[in-house]
Amino acid sequence: MHPSQLDAGAAGTWMLGHRAVNRMGFGSMRVTAGQDRERAIRVIRQAVELGVDHIDTAAFYFSPGGILAVGSGPTRHATELIREALPAGSDDVVISTKVGPGFDSAGRFFMATTATQLRRQVEENLRRLGRDCLDVVNLRILRKPGEDSIADRFGALAEMRDAGLIRHLGLSNVRVDHIDEAQAIAPVVCVQNAYAVDLRRDDDVLEVCAQRGIAFVPFFALAGTRREAGATTEHSRAVQTVAAAHGVSPHQVRLAWTLHRGAHVLAIPGTGDPAHLRENVATAALRLSEQDLLALA
């Protein structure tokens, strides 16, 4: 596809809180990798130029040399790269961030569990993004077997929403019972869970989100079972066959498959590579047939 024809809006739109966004979005975790800060900023700007108006991020997306690494040297935060890339005062792009995971002053990972800790993380996101109010804040949890209530944590975020620090709330890495619990406290506009053609433990969550008009935002769509390790290079025969039939890459088929799971699905593929960005955005226009979908199922 010619670059001038690339359009993130080709997959349609879905309401994310207060506004409709293009279903093809952008994930910012990967822009913290590498050594070229200016290139990272250009990739974010190019994503917006190609029609992306939904960017996923988190204050804990940072790296002095590798994703989520902590050490000496200049540290780059995805949130600060986004702030630098977007025009001051711009409200054309909905920025979704996450709270829960974090790093303390000694570089140790922890999960925020108290209202005070969550408030500090919200304020850090505000500071690094240079904003007075966060568009969407997702409560990210470590999902455990059995019962693990999120009421106190989500309730703390709801109070911050009422105070004007947050516009909309979402959830990440949750089960259906977590969605039920959260919706009893405040509206939930999106759910971010790991989900891919080869990583489908949350079909029930996807269906519940469709029934309730909640945006479902899969991460690891390109990574699959490799998860944090990055885009997989191991593709099933079905994925390869469909890719060959359409003249596209297997990664594009994986991404298109998620978009075909429902009109409420928002894609957030992440990359720091301009070529991969264009390939991802081109996928917004890729239409898979019923035969393709049956083969991939």
Catalytic one of 14, 26, 61, 219: 61
For residues 63, 68, 73 and 79, what is the CA-based torsion angle, rounded to 10 degrees?
Answer: 40
* Cα–Cα distance measured from residue 196 to residue 257, given in angstroms and rounded to the nearest whole number: 8
Active site residue 61: yes
Question: Can you tell me the distance from the alpha carbon of 76 to that of 58, in angstroms, rounded to the nearest whole number?
Answer: 12
Q: Tokens 């408030």 label which residue?
A: 119
Catalytically active residues are 61
